[in-house]
Structure 1
Amino acid sequence: MKNKGVLLLTLTLVLGLLAGCGGGSGGGNAGSGAKGDPASANSAGTADAAASGGKTTVQFWHSLGGKNGEYMDALIQRFNESHNDIEVVGTYQGGYDETVTKLQQAVASDTAPDVTMLERAYVQMFADSEVLEDLAPYLKGSGISADDFTAGLMGHSYFNDQLVSLPLNRSTPILHVNKTLLDEQGLKVPTTWEELKNAANALVVKEGNEYKRYGLTMPYDTWYPIAMISQSGGRFFNEESTSVGFVDNGVGQEVFGYLKELQGTGALYYPPAQDSGNIVNSMFVEGKVGMMFQSTGSIGGLSSSVDFDYVTAFLPKNDQFANPTGGANVAMLAGSKNKEAAWEFIRWMETDPQGGLQFILQSGYLPFTKQMVESAEMKELWAKEPNRKVAYDQLQYAVDTNMDVAWPEVMHEFFSAIEAIMYDSKDIAATLDTFKKEAERILAE
């Protein structure tokens, strides 16, 4: 195993990283629901993997609760009904970070599942620890090409010259807009930071010392500042991965200065860290905020809840359009004793029309194969609900500059910087300089 990968697996386990609603590590909408009992999720890597009746049991861990969890349960049921010799047991293990912690424990105790969902920013950490199976031979054996997948979603699939994961419930942040409120003010949907600032300020309603309506909001997450860093021509990590690439060039100060200016006028409501995603979604539905940075994975729930003209749009640009991707990939554990059955589940989920396609249509996550994009069902959905196509179109501007095995630990420090600036109004330059020093220390280990 790579020493740094093993070290970071241990460090992340000890840290117990705190996540925002969007998965904390940069996106996705993991949902909520009853937590899975890891003690009841028996390892598929044990010798008695074959269930009664001659079926091979495949254990699958995921991070989807709520409605998305129901959609995943339905996918698993469809697979089981179409396969006489394999039974997939799906177990919800909590949010993305909780799933990672449990997976670390399971790998260490040789009780890991056969297949797991991994938030895309964590894939490299497990890949460097050499605990993920190379899927390239399985792909070739099934007559599937990597070119069959959506290009903008494959950035977290290849590490160390191996294909260690494939996209599953993937998302991007987009702009969600109460167009009814914008129309009342004679405003257009903003496409630039300047237009966003003007629209957000115009939507503010203040009575006395109380804000009745804010212009813009976003969940507490690293995802959105990283998007804004990229929109300003900056990088999160520098190209050598020896430091962060947005502090010394002034990009970080520009991003957080912009956010603090909006926060100061009531144009931006920045929510508390706990349950931030649900808080901002509720405010948007209730008309207490006019615009929101949020995951594409929220479209389905919002569409069925709002009573106003609701549209989505690209994240507004500063110097350029740019957006990170988020959500999770699917991976096979190298220690699985049921690799052929595990691959059949992955293959079916990724490519069968009754597999992932139905899940994507239901949930609002991004179509991850070209076949999905070209399917009659997807075209019909996009024609009926154009809001859902926005995130796919925005993939042309997808960029992920926080890719490094050290990201989980650096993320912890970045959250501390965000809290200091957005909650405690600490000096932006000094806070970012402290963060930079901590990031460089971590990257040098």
Structure 2
Amino acid sequence: MAVLAVLCSYGLAQKVVIQFWHSMGGTLGEATQELVNRFNASQDKVEVKAQYAGTYDDGINKLLAALRSKNPPHLVQVYDIGTQILVDSQGAIPVQDFIQRDRIDLNRFIRQPLNYYTVGGRLQSMPFNSSTPLVYFNLNALQEAGIKPKQEWTFEELADVARKLTKRDASGKVVRYGIALADYGWFLEQISYNNGFYYCNNENGRKAPATEVNLDNPAVEKYFNWFLSLYKEGVLLYVGRRTADSQSAFATGKAAITFDSTAVLAGITRTVGGKFRIYTGYFPYFQEFGRTGVSIGGASLWLMKGPNPPEVEAAWSFIKWLVQPEQQALWHLKTGYFPLRVESLELPEVRRVHRENTNYTTAIQQLRTSKVSNVTAGCLMGSFPEIRQLSEQALEAAMQGKPVKEALAEYKRRADASLERYNRSVGR
């Protein structure tokens, strides 16, 4: 581990202790702690102390408060939509600085995660838990209905399948919904990208800082109408904003289809047990627009500025260790997040699991067949966490009877106002 040689040059007589804040709870938190434990046991120069900082929203708020008080952790996991906020905070060291110094070859890294976290031509943070949205199917239900599973779906096809998979009793009461969905803003963002639309202007904030939110783009409008139509037919079970509730409806057999992240693959598989087989497909698109591809979700690791060089080096040594093929393979198989390194997919244990369970391959293939562009790079903008919540409120308004166009126009105005306030606050 070359960076440890740098630490030794400081003549330190005891371990360097670094604080690592993350937002991985439950099974994902256990996998995160396992990686931390393995790193600590692998050498005697650095000790990583991991701390759960709450949800992604809680974590970024806690970090911003720590930056204001000039007491941030050494290393922090921040979700994708916090990227512009972290760049604007000027509280982090771009990992590009260390990559160039240590001559790390990024050619064997999967391109899309690097693409997302590259701002101003420099990789700002190291991708850690990268995911894409998938469609989860009850394979038994598909086969019983005589429906052939496939990877690529349009929303129009998915609506027909969901209708066929909906079961009612003699009185007409739904006993199994075709599909269960949460009101999750990430889906709206991915629907935009997958159908070829920027979610914010200036090419997703990649050509110049974003000043407008494209919440009312044609793909999102079509999705709202699609969603409402299936809901009114009694085919779609609406569970509110929590994807944990749509996961539960799917895993217990209350619904035959759901949308969710590849990150929950391992957890859903365990919850389902042997009750039925799971099949995963690519996130859908509308036939009118065609498939462009998805962006990544999840989070990355930010190396925070600090007055103590050995601690910064120690935090970087942990990041370098985490992105080695063996660690990436372990993370992938324990969680369902895809590995950052191509070499991880070539390891025997990964090949074996992929042969036995092709669901692990779906997200990787979906990403490989997504076009690499500013559309699929994902939107960069400040106040994104608030804007995501506003997008969820727009669907709620439509569910309560507000015409779709009016709901999208109203919440677009609110989102644009939020972004304008943010841009003023950072001098843009």
The two structures have a TM-score, normalised by structure 2, of 0.86
Counterpart secondary structure, 2:93: coil
CA offsets 1:209-247 (integer angstroms, 9 cap, x no match): 642111112233111122223344332213363323352
CA offsets 1:166-202 (integer angstroms, 9 cap, x no match): 1111111101111111111112236222211111011
- Number of the residue aligned with 2:42: 82
- Number of the residue aligned with 2:315: 342
- Number of the residue aligned with 1:317: 285
Q: Does 1:293 align with 2:293?
A: no
Given that residues 179 and 308 in structure 1 are in contact (C-alpha distance below 8 angstroms), is that contact kept between their aligned partners in structure 2?
yes
- 1:397: Cα distance to partner? 1.8
Identify which of 384, 387, 398 aligns with 1:410.
Answer: 387
Identify which of 187, 208, 229 aligns with 1:261.
Answer: 229
279 and 441 in structure 1: CA distance in 2 versus 1, 3 angstrom threshold: closer
CA offsets 1:316-369 (integer angstroms, 9 cap, x no match): 22132332321111110022621111111110111262x333222211111111
- Once residues 315 and 329 of structure 2 are traced to their aligned partners in structure 1, the CA distance between those partners, rounded to angstroms, is 19
Given that residues 75 and 356 in structure 1 are in contact (C-alpha distance below 8 angstroms), is that contact kept between their aligned partners in structure 2?
no
163 and 294 in structure 1: CA distance in 2 versus 1, 3 angstrom threshold: same
- Once residues 305 and 251 of structure 1 are traced to their aligned partners in structure 2, the CA distance between those partners, rounded to angstroms, is 33
Given that residues 182 and 238 in structure 2 are in contact (C-alpha distance below 8 angstroms), is that contact kept between their aligned partners in structure 1?
yes
- Number of the residue aligned with 2:348: 376
104 and 304 in structure 1: CA distance in 2 versus 1, 3 angstrom threshold: same
- Once residues 139 and 376 of structure 1 are traced to their aligned partners in structure 2, the CA distance between those partners, rounded to angstroms, is 28
Write the mapping of 1:13-412 to structure 2, written as runs, cut at 5 A: 54-189=14-149, 191-207=153-169, 208=171, 210-239=173-202, 241-245=210-214, 247=216, 250-273=218-241, 276-306=242-272, 307-318=275-286, 319-321=289-291, 322-335=293-306, 337=308, 338-351=311-324, 353=326, 355-395=327-367, 396-397=369-370, 399-412=376-389
- Once residues 229 and 127 of structure 2 are traced to their aligned partners in structure 1, the CA distance between those partners, rounded to angstroms, is 37
- Once residues 94 and 294 of structure 2 are traced to their aligned partners in structure 1, the CA distance between those partners, rounded to angstroms, is 28
List gaps (5 residues or longer) in structure 2: 1-9, 204-209, 422-428
Code of the residue aligned with 1:349 in structure 2: it is L
Given that residues 325 and 341 in structure 2 are in contact (C-alpha distance below 8 angstroms), is that contact kept between their aligned partners in structure 1?
no
Code of the residue aligned with 2:294 in structure 1: it is N
Code of the residue aligned with 1:346 in structure 2: it is I
- Number of the residue aligned with 1:25: none
Given that residues 244 and 436 in structure 1 are in contact (C-alpha distance below 8 angstroms), is that contact kept between their aligned partners in structure 2?
yes
CA offsets 1:56-85 (integer angstroms, 9 cap, x no match): 001111111111111111111111111111
Which range moved further: 207-216 or 129-138?
A: 207-216
CA offsets 1:129-166 (integer angstroms, 9 cap, x no match): 21110212311333312323210111332223432201
- 1:253: Cα distance to partner? 2.3
Which range moved further: 168-177 or 375-384?
A: 375-384
Count of residues in correspondence between the two structures: 390
- Once residues 402 and 46 of structure 2 are traced to their aligned partners in structure 1, the CA distance between those partners, rounded to angstroms, is 56
Which range moved further: 384-393 or 327-336?
A: 327-336
Runs of 4+, deviation exceeding 6 Å: none
- Once residues 59 and 364 of structure 1 are traced to their aligned partners in structure 2, the CA distance between those partners, rounded to angstroms, is 26
Given that residues 116 and 296 in structure 2 are in contact (C-alpha distance below 8 angstroms), is that contact kept between their aligned partners in structure 1?
no
Given that residues 156 and 165 in structure 1 are in contact (C-alpha distance below 8 angstroms), is that contact kept between their aligned partners in structure 2?
no
- Once residues 141 and 233 of structure 2 are traced to their aligned partners in structure 1, the CA distance between those partners, rounded to angstroms, is 18
- Once residues 411 and 253 of structure 1 are traced to their aligned partners in structure 2, the CA distance between those partners, rounded to angstroms, is 16
Given that residues 218 and 224 in structure 1 are in contact (C-alpha distance below 8 angstroms), is that contact kept between their aligned partners in structure 2?
no
Given that residues 179 and 310 in structure 1 are in contact (C-alpha distance below 8 angstroms), is that contact kept between their aligned partners in structure 2?
yes
- Number of the residue aligned with 2:424: none
- Once residues 227 and 81 of structure 2 are traced to their aligned partners in structure 1, the CA distance between those partners, rounded to angstroms, is 25
Counterpart secondary structure, 1:269: strand
Given that residues 108 and 343 in structure 2 are in contact (C-alpha distance below 8 angstroms), is that contact kept between their aligned partners in structure 1?
yes
Given that residues 215 and 412 in structure 2 are in contact (C-alpha distance below 8 angstroms), is that contact kept between their aligned partners in structure 1?
no
Given that residues 223 and 324 in structure 1 are in contact (C-alpha distance below 8 angstroms), is that contact kept between their aligned partners in structure 2?
no
Q: Which has the higher helix share?
A: 2
- Number of the residue aligned with 2:3: none
Given that residues 123 and 156 in structure 1 are in contact (C-alpha distance below 8 angstroms), is that contact kept between their aligned partners in structure 2?
no
Code of the residue aligned with 1:320 in structure 2: it is G
- Number of the residue aligned with 1:33: none
- Once residues 352 and 430 of structure 1 are traced to their aligned partners in structure 2, the CA distance between those partners, rounded to angstroms, is 49
Q: Does 1:434 align with 2:396?
A: no
Code of the residue aligned with 1:327 in structure 2: it is G
The two structures have a TM-score, normalised by structure 1, of 0.82
- Once residues 378 and 322 of structure 2 are traced to their aligned partners in structure 1, the CA distance between those partners, rounded to angstroms, is 28
- Once residues 378 and 313 of structure 2 are traced to their aligned partners in structure 1, the CA distance between those partners, rounded to angstroms, is 34
Counterpart secondary structure, 2:258: strand
Counterpart secondary structure, 1:397: coil
